[in-house]
Structure 1
Amino acid sequence: MSISQDKLKQLAQDWISIDPNPTTSKEIKDLLDNEEYAKLSSKLYPRIAFGTAGLRSSMESGFAHMNDVTVLQASQGLVEFLKSKFDNPSIVVGYDHRYHSQRYGELLASVALLKGFTVYYLGSVKNLSKESIELSQSKYENDNNASRDYVHTPLVPFAIDTLKASGGVMITASHNPANDNGYKVYYNNGCQIIPPIDSDISDSIEHNLKPWNDQVWNITGNFTKGLEDGRLKVVRDEIIEQYVSGVKEKLLKHNELNFKFVYTPMHGVGLDTFAKCMKLFNKSDYTVVPEQAHPDPAFPTVSFPNPEEKGALDLAIKLANEDKISLVIANDPDADRFSCAVVDKNGKYKQLTGNEIGFLFAMYIIENTPRLDLSNTYLLNSTVSSQILKSMANKDGFHYLDTLTGFKWIGNKAIDLTNEGYKVPFAFEEAIGFMFDLIHDKDGVSAAIVFLQLYQQWFSSGKVNVFDKLEEGYKKYGWFKDLNGYYRLNDLSLTNKIFKNIRESYSPKEYPIAIGDFKVITWRDLTVGYDSTTSNTKPILPIDPHNQMITAILEPIEKSNKDKDLSVRFTCRGSGTEPKIKIYVEGKSTISESDAINIADKCWETLKKEWFKPKEYGLQEMKP
């Protein structure tokens, strides 16, 4: 995206006039004085976009990144928006251990206090961040060894529900690299924001780009006054206590665990709350990976702090192997995701996929739900996750729905269904996100607690292992095997070009009759707004012309009679946060696992040849 030098110079001057940090202000000034316009452009343009995920970017100077200025601007816009919607507005503020997370949380709390909000603070007021102290020249003492009162992300939506707040923000970049941070926004229903709220907040930010006054930067003064008049309420300990009580009341079915396991919080913030939840069990025997036990924003033992990444669980598995422990469980750094590895029949540790974990959870929930309640029960997942829930619903008599990707959609749909009188005890997404009837968002800690009980119920005796249970489920519901990967792009504009060429390949028809050796059974294009399965061809899921997303079910043109239910489902979509086209393929067979695997692989190769043509487009194929 290009910008004129005159416009760039103006943006640089705007930054210098706003930024209170002498280091980053000088950085932009030096680039301007030295006429380093390419570097200036990368820092200042385009402005960091506010969307349904809030903000997320690398932490560096400039309007295009996460820093004091862009966090202040977002906070002013969010606070003005909430003030326009609620008579006595309140906000929950939490942060994790990443670099500058506490500072960003303090900025938001300061802005909200200036506008008369009640601020439910999940952080520390005993020790402000070093940045706030230096810029405020405060008398507050800063002890670098003191606890910063970090919280795991799901405590923010939990606190919104518990305290009936107008909204909330969690400062985190989840499992992104160490130099990233984010600003995750929730509304008063305890769920991530969805359209049109995101665009309304974005508009409000655009109208509040200049600091209201010098007081917005005076963290210590605003905090002191907030404590004195009672509008700054430090509620972390209270909320964690209520969270643990909620886990006990809603999710605890077994009060004893008689097996050992290894746990890693991946250098993140999960251990504190996880350990408190573990006290609910009369007996528990677990080991925490010592090198990854405590919050460390540098993530020194992992290349990427994401349990899904290859090698991320190596230390945990090594420790489990040394101690002959068969189960490893993990949270990502902000503990809203959950993963696990178990010993297979060959004695090797195997990390389960998100779909496999979701399937186990779903079977566990249904087995423990009274049969009479199933007709009033919904299980949900995203459209890129396994459709095995649909097969389960057809056989077991509960209801199933899929949503767009992201727990903002899953959570809001669960709220809608609950308001209609249904129960929604579980939902999941293949990217190791799991939601139970406690919070309307994914939660890695509650998922870990439920999984341990699942393990106790089915596997603690040693008579059955995880893969036996999965096999039992596949025999009942069909084999569903996923093959999820992506194509990396060098040029973001390629996404729209590729999807344009795909649609032109079957135009003027609404969808192709066949793709390679597959015939098309169903077709849904949420970009153009077409769904072959509805009576009026209008999708039930929201249409978004700005995002590319096609889903289809295919069957082999030539198919043996032995498996009448051999099919494959795929979704192709442009990533909203990375230069990728993501591909989700799931093969289905009622005969064998190998048939499901083979048809998924054939679908991937067909789409590669017919649509994505990596050599022609210069794409990097990342096939699992």
Structure 2
Amino acid sequence: MDLLAIAKEGFAKIEADPAYKVKALEYLQTWLTHSDYASYKPQIEWQIQNGKFADVLDQFYQVLPFGTGGRRGAVGIGPNRMNLWTSGASVQGHCEYLKARFPSLGKPIAVVLAFDVRQFEDKRKVYNPALPNPVLHLSSRNFAEFAACIYIANGIHAHILPADSKRYLATPELSFYIRLLQAQGGLNISASHNPPDDNGGKFYDERGGQPVPPDDQIMSDYVEQVTEIKTISWTDAAKSNKIHWLNDEPHRKYIELCKKQSLITPPNFDEFRLVYTPLHGVGSMTAMEALQAVGFRPIPVESQMKPDGQFPNVTKSPNPEVPESLDRAEEEAKKNEAHLVLATDPDADRIGGLASTKKDGGAPYRFITGQEICALATHFKLSQMAKQGIMPSSPIVICTEVTTSLVGKIARKFNAQIVENLLVGFKYINEVIWQLESTGQYEDVTGGVADVILGCEESHGLQTTAEVRDKDAGGAAVLMAEMALEQKRKGSTVPEYLDQLNKQFGYHRNDLINIVMSGIEGKSNMTKMMDALRKDPPKTIGGMAVTAVEDMRDTHGRMGAIKGATDFASRNFLIFRLGDKAKVVLRPSGTEPKAKAYLEVSGEPWKTTQPAEAWDASCRVIDELIQKIATDFLTIALGTVGITPAPGAAKLAR
């Protein structure tokens, strides 16, 4: 029996859409017979002969989707994995898109290439280590250099770090460099905080952000039409006049830009103790340098300072959204009686941290959530600008629909305009900035780039200047460190600052439930769940009446007509409003096999006549209510696909 026949027989025993099995066999035949894929054949043969049919089906049933900004997923063999073929096809499509977008530029089209610390080592043990494996040890640098070969073969110039450079290029630096070097686009090879065996390629436009509909759909269409990848050798690319080696000058300008975000006088030598970790990513070359530039002396978590794509000394996930990832930083903070811990993710666009509950620093520490970071940063920056008389004429704060409504209330307190109804992703925040830059208006908000105070999102993302058109942990680190320093100077702490904001604007409890649905079956269930909730939304959640349901795919709603398949995917977004004080927002993740349910319940501001015990009791009522909503909603959502949640699955972290 031949390999295809064996695979077909194996697939028949797997519960999956028959169309997926047909498509997988078609791709398998190509990869087993075409000379372009000969190097992958030994591993594919081994998988089939050893009955790894679920793995093979998942690797071959589709081409790894080209999402709203690129491709991201597990590195591996097959069209549904990140490898030089899937990455190269994306780059070739980007070349065609750029040539169509800039037909008469008057100068060569150019892109900036960035890459992080990742390297594929098959941590999941999918493949046979005794056989040749062309994806083993494949690094982000390898992906970036291969991309440069494709761009250059297509007549497009590429800015990239020299082959002998010990540096990496963080996500915010890429955004800044595109604008600084007046390039027409960029590519970032990174999987951010995903597991070590993942990687991805995310494309940027000439504005330094990711394209939004309909431009992202146009680019996606070009990628789908690729049948041949034009390339040259890295040796020839490196010798060509189309490659431009990045020196330290753009990096120095980025650090200077971060330094300009400073709002208060620098700390004295021993005034403030700050622990910092890049979680084995590239943040030591951006966020840490930015902190040093404004006068802080970060105490490094030595075991996590080395850039290492295996993240060997990180607990659970290299993601500052995850409290467990900060365990080593907390131990360092305790030893030094630090006031603040800051951490950045592998590509240094997200920031997270811990704050001491004591005025003089030291344990115990409180984890700062992404929603709290947004609120703290917004209030601190607006209050400092108002105090110093440097507020722009039409201040504007921008955030997404899933960001805490506390940000909007704070902005209005300072007479700032607020955009707070966007889809998830900084590309939408930066589309607002572009509209302001080009027309002076976005919906009913008026102003220009100089009026933008802050962009923020619940996923630990801050954007402190419009010179960078993506999340930026460098500027964010400066803002958060100065915020904590100012509290110390006031004889207060960051947790006390949060309490003050909640008393002034009302206690806001925001939480997130991750509904994980992996593999082919998970993908099918995700679609069924969203469709079922869209068709027949719940009448009550957690005992509260659902007073309004908003489907972002509704063409008669505020989002209007669907602009293409990428827009359709991004707008897979349901909002269940529970009166004016609570809501649940549900959307599939764009980068991970799960759906995210964002929960919010808020209360009234504290009245000065209200006893402290009564205030605490009202906060507990909200905490109990949001837990009730979480438990009920998870049961409802999973019930649409016949799944009963495991006991405690909806238990919230605090």
- The superposition leaves residues 171-196 of structure 1 with CA deviations (integer Å, 9 ceiling, x where unpaired) of 11111111111101111111012222
Residues 221 and 326 of structure 1: is their aligned pair in 2 closer, same or farther, counting only changes over 3 Å?
same
* Residue 109 (1) aligns with residue 148 (2): yes
- The superposition leaves residues 264-313 of structure 1 with CA deviations (integer Å, 9 ceiling, x where unpaired) of 000111112334323423x4332101110110111111232112224211
State the SS of the aligned residue for 1:330: strand
Give distance in 1, aligned partners of 2:407 and 2:562. Answer: 21
Match of 1:478 among 506, 523, 527: 506
Give distance in 1, aligned partners of 2:24 and 2:626. Answer: 50
- 1:572 corresponds to which residue? 586
Cα deviation for residue 340 of structure 1 reads 1.0
TM alignment of 1:98-497, pairs within 5 A? 98-99=118-119, 100-121=139-160, 123-125=161-163, 127=164, 147-212=165-230, 216-225=231-240, 229=241, 231-251=242-262, 253-256=264-267, 258-281=271-294, 283-302=295-314, 303-344=316-357, 347-370=363-386, 373=391, 376-402=394-420, 403-419=422-438, 420=440, 421-422=447-448, 423-437=451-465, 438-459=467-488, 461=489, 463-489=491-517, 491-497=522-528
Give distance in 1, aligned partners of 2:549 and 2:393. Answer: 29
Give distance in 2, aligned partners of 1:111 and 1:318. Answer: 46
Root-mean-square deviation (CA, aligned residues, Å) is: 2.7
What amino acid is aligned across from residue 510 of structure 2 in structure 1? D
- The superposition leaves residues 372-399 of structure 1 with CA deviations (integer Å, 9 ceiling, x where unpaired) of 8466111111111101122223333111
* Residue 2 (1) aligns with residue 2 (2): no
352-361 or 68-77, which deviates more: 68-77
- The superposition leaves residues 229-281 of structure 1 with CA deviations (integer Å, 9 ceiling, x where unpaired) of 3x321124121011012123344543345311110000111112334323423
189-198 or 587-596, which deviates more: 587-596
Give distance in 2, aligned partners of 1:372 and 1:310. Answer: 36
- The superposition leaves residues 480-499 of structure 1 with CA deviations (integer Å, 9 ceiling, x where unpaired) of 11121122235222223233
Give distance in 1, aligned partners of 2:513 and 2:542. Answer: 20
The number of equivalent residue pairs is: 570
Give distance in 2, aligned partners of 1:289 and 1:83. Answer: 45
Match of 1:589 among 603, 608, 618: 603
Cα deviation for residue 70 of structure 1 reads 1.6
What amino acid is aligned across from residue 96 of structure 1 in structure 2? D
Cα deviation for residue 362 of structure 1 reads 0.4
Cα deviation for residue 93 of structure 1 reads 0.6
Give distance in 2, aligned partners of 1:36 and 1:376. Answer: 60
Give distance in 2, aligned partners of 1:279 and 1:34. Answer: 54
- 2:9 corresponds to which residue? none
- 1:132 corresponds to which residue? none
Give distance in 2, aligned partners of 1:4 and 1:245. Answer: 52
State the SS of the aligned residue for 1:313: helix
Give distance in 1, aligned partners of 2:207 and 2:578. Answer: 38
Unaligned residue ranges in structure 1 (runs of 5+): 128-146, 507-511, 531-536, 556-564
Give distance in 2, aligned partners of 1:505 and 1:107. Answer: 48
* Residue 71 (1) aligns with residue 71 (2): no
For the 8 Å contact 1:260–1:327, the answer to whether it is kept is: yes
Give distance in 1, aligned partners of 2:548 and 2:24. Answer: 50
For the 8 Å contact 2:110–2:183, the answer to whether it is kept is: yes
State the SS of the aligned residue for 1:80: helix
What amino acid is aligned across from residue 194 of structure 1 in structure 2? V
Give distance in 2, aligned partners of 1:25 and 1:236. Answer: 40
For the 8 Å contact 1:18–1:69, the answer to whether it is kept is: no
Give distance in 1, aligned partners of 2:32 and 2:641. Answer: 44
Give distance in 2, aligned partners of 1:540 and 1:472. Answer: 40
Give distance in 2, aligned partners of 1:377 and 1:285. Answer: 32
State the SS of the aligned residue for 2:221: helix
- 2:131 corresponds to which residue? none
- The superposition leaves residues 110-160 of structure 1 with CA deviations (integer Å, 9 ceiling, x where unpaired) of 111222222121x223x4xxxxxxxxxxxxxxxxxxx43212111111101
What amino acid is aligned across from residue 574 of structure 2 in structure 1? I
Cα deviation for residue 587 of structure 1 reads 0.8
For the 8 Å contact 1:190–1:440, the answer to whether it is kept is: yes
State the SS of the aligned residue for 2:385: coil
TM-score (norm 2): 0.81
Give distance in 2, aligned partners of 1:59 and 1:611. Answer: 31
For the 8 Å contact 2:275–2:299, the answer to whether it is kept is: yes
- The superposition leaves residues 309-330 of structure 1 with CA deviations (integer Å, 9 ceiling, x where unpaired) of 2421111100111122221110
Give distance in 2, aligned partners of 1:400 and 1:504. Answer: 32
What amino acid is aligned across from residue 458 of structure 2 in structure 1? E
State the SS of the aligned residue for 1:27: helix
For the 8 Å contact 1:12–1:29, the answer to whether it is kept is: no
